[in-house]
Amino acid sequence: MNAVPLSIPLAQGMLLAGVLFAFGLIGLLVRRNLIFMLMSVEIMLNAAGLAFIVAGAQWEQADGQIMFLFILTLAAAEVSVGLALVLQLYRHFQTLDADAMSRLWG
Amino acid sequence: MTGAFYLAALVAAVSTGLVITSLNAVHALLYLIVSFLAVAVVFFIFGAPFVAMLEIIIYAGAIMVLFVFVVMMLNLGRRAIEQEAGWLRSRIWIGPSILSATLLGELLYLFGSGILSQAGGITVQAPKQVGVVLLGPYLIGVELASMLLLPGLVGAYHLGRHLNSEDA
């Protein structure tokens, strides 16, 4: 079978990554719930990985996928420590409101 | 396949927008899982099947399960029963179901039309090539990632153990 000449332009994939990153940034800035803030960080990390994959496809190199693997590792380590901290903070303050934790009580 | 890309991108954008606007954490998690599945489809279309599988297994699987665990742990008590009853209403899961069904239909179309094997215009980077590069020039990066994961494991264990010992 002959391949249909198809090229999803680099700009389209980068646009999707930018939109997802912007959603994550908006969520991180707007929401005050710690769980939602962690989820927004995950969205942003995923969008950054998407940008690497799109660039790797454009230059036909495997390096973009390698970078995504490292971002994946980073996200896994970050979310495990972050969620453990959320559990501790909930025990201390009985709330997940980030504004309630704006003072360091020692 | 260009249309498949736009459809998956639309699903990803819509579900991500619903993540940051929904009030209930479990609803947001459902939409976030759909968003990761849609991004996995985008990876597949861009010729990265290995990374697409990892996106589903690790992001939509392992990391989201961690979130679900924590949300469930924080919602103990009588409120949990009311919430459980509330989750059974259809309007809660109808949104993620529609978006997931869109992705499923796209998947069936791609398999049925047989254009997966040709992947016109985009060079597929097979898992073998990724592995060769990963354990070749990037070997030091793999070692650094393992050094990152060990403090992550120790840190999560330390914080979690402290919590359990004081509760008991």
Question: Which positions in chain B touch A7 (Cβ < 8 Å)?
Answer: 121-122
pLDDT for B168 equals 44
Q: What is the 3-state secondary structure (H, E, C) of chain A?
A: CCCCCCCCCHHHHHHHHHHHHHHHHHHHHHCCEHHHHHHHHHHHHHHHHHHHHHHHHHHCCCHHHHHHHHHHHHHHHHHHHHHHHHHHHHHHHCCCEHHHHCCCCC
Interchain contact, A12 vs B9, CB within 8 Å: yes
A39-64 per-position pLDDT tens digit: 999 999 999 999 999 998 888 888 88
Is pLDDT larger for residue A90 or for residue A70?
A70
Closest Cβ opposite residue B43 in set A53, A69, A75: A53
Tell me which of A15-29, B31-45, B85-99, B113-127 is least confident: B113-127
Average pLDDT, chain B: 82
DSSP result, B23-53: SSHHHHHHHHHHHHHHHHHHHHHTT-HHHHH
ipTM exceeding the 0.85 mark: yes
Q: Does B166 have pLDDT greater than 70?
A: no
pLDDT for A33 equals 85
Q: Best of A2, A14, A19, A23 to disrupt the B interface by mutation (most B CBs within 10 Å)?
A: A23
Closest residue in chain A to residue B41, using alpha carbons only: A50
Average pLDDT, chain A: 85
Q: pLDDT-based confidence at B150, cuts 50/70/90?
A: very high
Interchain contact, B118 vs A60, CB within 8 Å: no
Interchain contact, B16 vs A26, CB within 8 Å: no
pLDDT for A95 equals 76
